[in-house]
């Protein structure tokens, strides 16, 4: 895809405006098309444009879930920690063209890999597949067509993890394809790192400095009411509402929406909207790779260090009790 297309399609307007302003460019009009054109026609603009294209082309308003594999049959997965090893596997299976121009595979039911890009030590895999058949009006006739959809997977290394950027519930076939590439006949068990329990979700919100702007909780007793949902007024935090605390603190969450501040490399600050659910996370703001990496690293940290609030309380109680006894 040409740089112009990527800029016009994937990069948020505000980012393009900043480049134009910083480099004092003169686009023909205020449309995104002309902004992108002005950027591409300028030496330094092109450099900035390339950077933005890499940051946004596979990201955007995406859902993402991060998995790490464990083998059902004992099979050493350690070689997968090396990006070179996995690139070798991919070249063996798909040929070296998948890294350069990409493959022109015939789109089908199952997702098929057609392009691999490397960026910041990660591999970005592009898959193409056909969506459901639908009837559309074209040239005064009704024709049947199946849309061509593209979804992305990101491979992390050291340790090896797979980030699946597809809609909720549709990750099965993609993980299946990865299994075919990396483990041949052996099936793998995938652990979802982005599945957070109530305590971990709270910690993530605090670590991101986020405000709670939406929350859906599930009742644990009662015949009729299944879920309770709260949304905050603009720039308000549900955690400050007594009503929310009283009604929901004893109920597990179904999904939570946070708004947190983020400063891009180029100095631009933005409020990012993030929804977490038991399946993983969903960005409601168009984000770049930087932002996704930032959030995933926070989640990995939480999973590694664990959230011990409740257990600490128990330990303290025991200590107090034994003190009183003696």
Partner 1 sequence: MKSYELMSILESMAFEGKNHFSPLYISNTYKTADVEKVVSLLLSDLFREIVIPILEVECPEGDADFTVQGINDLPQELRVCHQCGIEYVPDPKHIWVTFDFSADFKEFVKKKNPKVSHQQTMRHLKHPILV
With respect to partner 1, which residue has the nearer C-beta, 217 or 259? 217
Which span sits near partner 1 by CB under 8 A: 53-61, 133-141, 249-257, 301-309? 249-257
Measured CA to CA in angstroms, residue 246 lies from 156, 173, 243 at distances of 41, 42, 5
* 321: contact with partner 1 by CB under 8 A: no
254 contributes a contact to partner 1 by CB under 8 A: yes
1 CB contacts (<8 Å, ≥6 apart)?
57
Q: Using the minimum distance from each CB to partner 1, give the nearer residue, 209 or 227.
A: 227
Site string for partner 1, 122-141 (x = CB under 8 A): --------------------
Q: How many beta carbons lie within 10 A of that of residue 2, not counting itself?
A: 10
Of 119 and 308, CB closest to partner 1:
308
- Is the separation of the CB atoms in 33 and 8 below 8 Å? yes
Largest interatomic CA distance in the chain: 90
Among 95, 131, 252, 306, interactor with partner 1 by CB under 8 A? 252
Q: How far is CA 322 from the centre of its chain?
A: 48
When asked if residue 226 is in the footprint of partner 1 (CB under 8 A), the reply is yes
Answer yes or no: are the C-beta atoms of 273 and 179 closer than 8 Å: no
Contact 222, 243 (CB under 8 A): no
**Does residue 146 touch partner 1 according to CB under 8 A?**
no
Q: Check residue 216 and report its DSSP letter.
A: E
State the angle between helix axes of 198-207 and 289-305 in degrees (0 to 180), rounded to the nearest 10. 130
CB closer to partner 1, 29 vs 227: 227
Rounded distance, CA 240 to CA 258, Å? 14
What CA–CA distance (Å, rounded) separates 156 from 309? 30
Piece of 41-49, 53-61, 97-105, 277-285 that binds partner 1 (CB under 8 A): 277-285
SS3 of residue 130 by DSSP: strand
Q: How far is the CB of 132 from partner 1 (least distance, A)?
A: 9
Q: How far is the CB of 317 from partner 1 (least distance, A)?
A: 10
**Applying CB under 8 A, does 227 fall inside the site for partner 1?**
yes
Residue 278 touching partner 1 (CB under 8 A): yes
Considering the complex, what minimum distance in angstroms separates the CB of residue 183 from partner 1? 21
**Sole binder of partner 1 in the list 47, 92, 189, 250 (CB under 8 A):** 250
Q: How far is the CB of 18 from partner 1 (least distance, A)?
A: 35
Judged by beta carbon, residue 148 or residue 227, the one nearer partner 1 is 227
Q: Cα 272 from chain centroid?
A: 13
Q: Is there binding between residue 62 and partner 1 (CB under 8 A)?
A: no
Burial of residue 292, with CB atoms counted within 10 A of its CB: 0-12 exposed, 13-18 middle, 19 or more buried: buried
Q: What is the DSSP letter of 30?
A: S
Question: Nearest distance from residue 313's CB to partner 1, in Å?
Answer: 10
> How far is 148 from 141, CA to CA, in rounded Å?
21
Residues contacting partner 1: total by CB under 8 A: 17
- 163-222 residues in contact with partner 1 (CB under 8 A) are 168-169, 216, 218, 220-222
Q: Which residues are at the interface with partner 1 (CB under 8 A)?
A: 168-169, 216, 218, 220-223, 226-227, 250, 252, 254-255, 277-279
């Amino acid at each position: 895809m040409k740089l112009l297309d990527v800029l016009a399609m994937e990069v948020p307007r505000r980012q393009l405006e900043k480049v134009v302003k910083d480099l004092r460019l003169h686009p023909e009009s205020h449309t995104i098309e002309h902004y992108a054109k002005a950027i591409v026609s300028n030496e330094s603009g092109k450099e900035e444009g390339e950077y933005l294209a890499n940051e946004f082309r596979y990201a955007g308003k995406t859902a993402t879930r991060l998995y790490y594999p464990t083998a059902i049959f004992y099979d050493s997965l350690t070689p997968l920690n090396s990006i070179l090893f996995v690139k070798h596997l991919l070249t063996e299976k798909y040929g070296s063209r998948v890294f350069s121009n990409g493959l022109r595979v015939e789109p089908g039911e199952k997702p098929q890999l057609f392009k691999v890009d490397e960026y910041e030590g990660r591999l970005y895999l592009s898959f193409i597949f056909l969506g459901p058949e639908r009837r559309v009006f074209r040239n005064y006739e009704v024709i049947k067509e199946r849309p061509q959809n593209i979804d992305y997977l990101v491979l992390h290394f050291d340790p090896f993890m797979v980030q699946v950027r597809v809609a909720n519930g549709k990750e099965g076939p993609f993980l299946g394809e990865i299994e075919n590439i990396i483990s041949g006949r052996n099936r793998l068990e995938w652990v979802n790192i982005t599945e957070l329990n109530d305590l971990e979700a709270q910690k993530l919100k605090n670590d991101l400095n986020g405000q709670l702007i939406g929350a859906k909780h599930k009742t644990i007793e009662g015949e009729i009411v299944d879920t309770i949902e709260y949304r905050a007024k603009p720039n308000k935090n549900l955690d400050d509402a007594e009503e929310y605390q009283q009604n929901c603190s004893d109920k597990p969450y179904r999904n939570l929406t946070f708004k947190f501040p983020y400063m891009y490399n180029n100095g631009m600050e933005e409020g990012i909207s993030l929804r977490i659910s038991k399946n993983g996370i969903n960005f409601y703001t168009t984000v770049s790779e930087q932002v996704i990496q930032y959030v995933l690293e926070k989640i990995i940290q939480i999973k590694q260090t664990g959230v011990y609030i409740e257990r600490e309380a128990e330990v303290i109680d025991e200590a107090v009790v034994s003190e009183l006894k003696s």
